[in-house]
Structure 1
Amino acid sequence: MSFVRRRELRLPTPEEAPPGRSAPAYEVPAKHTVLGTALLGPYPDGSEVAGFALGCFWGAERRFWQLPAGIWTTLTGFQGGLTPYPVDDEIRTGLTGHAETVRVVFDPARVTYERLLRLFWESHDPTQGFRQGNDVGTHVRSILFTHSPEQQAAAVNSRDAYQQALTKAGYGPITTDVLAAEDHPFYPAQACHQQYLDKNPGGYCGAGGTGVSFPAGTDGPSA
């Protein structure tokens, strides 16, 4: 989702961030429009949660729900910022510090976290900083939000592996942060942003990539 650039490209300080609110300003749909599963839970026993920020979350979310196996649900939201329960008008100023994020709930027996990491890296350019293609702003920066020490280690290892591939292809340093999700609350986006490209098949999709493949043999079994 492309927001209007309103300020210089840097993360805000806590003093600059809007105060937010103590509860959501809108309701989130109960069900995924494609998968038919619960967006906010409860999730099946044994499932895992992972967070991926890779630019406009409309196209990014579709990449994950289209995987052939193992995805329980996906939902769009905002993570990594300062303002509690932010709304669009606040986020588009750049002052909340949030990134557009896709939360993925998956069955690790059917699709590995490493497979999701490969999709993440190949679906955007992680060297662009506060930008993805035509979308510019701190809200489209690249972040991996990890939900366990195992995910944290796998995310860092995957970043190192992909950096080698990108360097060989002539790209610069990866700017992707790897952050513990427990330190960065996830706020689901409102209904119009959930499964946007299912409801609007011809809508904007900023998802793209460098064309550099993730190194073979480093992402575990494919879905």
Structure 2
Amino acid sequence: MSFFLKKSPAQLLPDKNCLEGRSFRIPKAPSKDSVNFVTGNPMYGPWPVAMEQALFGMGCFWCSEALFVDMKGIFSTQVGYAQGKTPNPTYEEVCSGQTNHSEVVRIIYNPKTITYKDLLKVFWSGHDPTVPMAQGNDCGSQYRSGIYYYNEEQKGEALESKEEYQAALSKAGMKEKTIVTEIEPAGEFYYAEDYHQQYGSTS
């Protein structure tokens, strides 16, 4: 008789065990004058005064960015790494599981056209928030589900939406599924390599 053991989810490392990183921006990051391939707007701030930011981890950032970049009211999007320990990490370092970063999409949006709650709806429907440290066939701590807020209003709306989505799962007969999405203050955002930006629209 053969037994198939379920692989345990990846774990975050103690900070002291993470890679050292570097004090400078990675060479393959987008240049300072880069524009978003879809919106035609800058990839770097400062952003227009009316704009606000959102930061989500939803698994592979290629797929995450593609969900938002075409939406009305989106000024710009960028993919990168956040919520980790290693400064200015490379893709290879993040994929090693030794930086504690999450693959994230940062969204610069006009709140008069699209609200944070609108973005949260796409967040919850665009991935499976009940799977720890993985999405689909992608496994690792960099693929964890996360909402990283920039202010207390975003925090409140994120927590409220989590409760609503959990209730919706239960109502749909999936009471055994528990949301594992982390909701925490947005850490420093590090740009991913240029070839990752707007990947779904450029490849």
Instruction: Tell me if both proteins adopt one fold, taking TM over 0.5 as the criterion.
Output: yes
What's the counterpart of residue 4 of structure 2?
none
Kindly state the Cα deviation for residue 42 of structure 1 after the two structures are TM-superposed.
Answer: 2.4
Give the Å deviation of 1:88: 1.5
The residue aligned with 2:42 is: 38
Alpha-carbon distance, 1:188 to partner:
0.8
Match of 2:30 in 1: 28
Q: Are 1:175 and 2:180 an aligned pair?
A: yes
Could you tell me how far 1:32 is from its partner in structure 2? 0.3
Aligned length: 191
> What does residue range 40-59 of structure 1 map to in structure 2 within 5 Å?
40-59=44-63
Normalising by structure 1, we get a TM-score of: 0.83
How far apart, CA to CA, are the structure 2 residues paired with 1:94 and 1:114? 31
Q: Secondary structure, in 3 states, of the residue corresponding to 1:15?
A: helix
**Does 2:13 correspond to 1:12?**
yes
Aligned to 2:153: 150
Structure whose alpha-carbon radius of gyration is higher: 2
Residues 160, 21 of structure 1: alpha-carbon distance in 2 compared, 3 angstrom cutoff: same
Q: How does 1:33-182 map to 2 (within 5 A)?
A: 33-67=37-71, 69-169=72-172, 170=174, 171-181=176-186
Identical amino acids, percent of aligned pairs: 37
Cα displacement string for residues 3-26 of structure 1 (whole angstroms, at most 9, x for unaligned residues): xxxx97100111110011111122
CA distance in 1, matches of 2:170, 2:127: 16
Q: 2:17 aligns to what SS in structure 1?
A: coil
Q: Distance in 2 between matches of 1:80 and 1:62?
A: 21
Query: Are the equivalent residues in 1 in contact too, given 2:54–2:148 (CA < 8 A)?
Result: yes
Q: CA deviation at 1:168?
A: 2.2
SS in 1 for 2:78: strand
Distance in 1 between residues matched to 2:119 and 2:198, nearest whole Å: 18
Ranges in structure 1 where 5+ consecutive residues have no aligned partner: 1-6, 201-223
Residue type at the aligned position of 1:178: I
Question: Is the CA contact 2:9–2:133 (under 8 Å) kept in the aligned structure 1?
Answer: no
Stretches of structure 2 that go unaligned for 5 or more consecutive residues are 1-7
Which 4+ residue blocks in structure 1 deviate beyond 6 angstroms? none
Once residues 19 and 28 of structure 1 are traced to their aligned partners in structure 2, the CA distance between those partners, rounded to angstroms, is 22
- Amino acid paired to 2:63: G
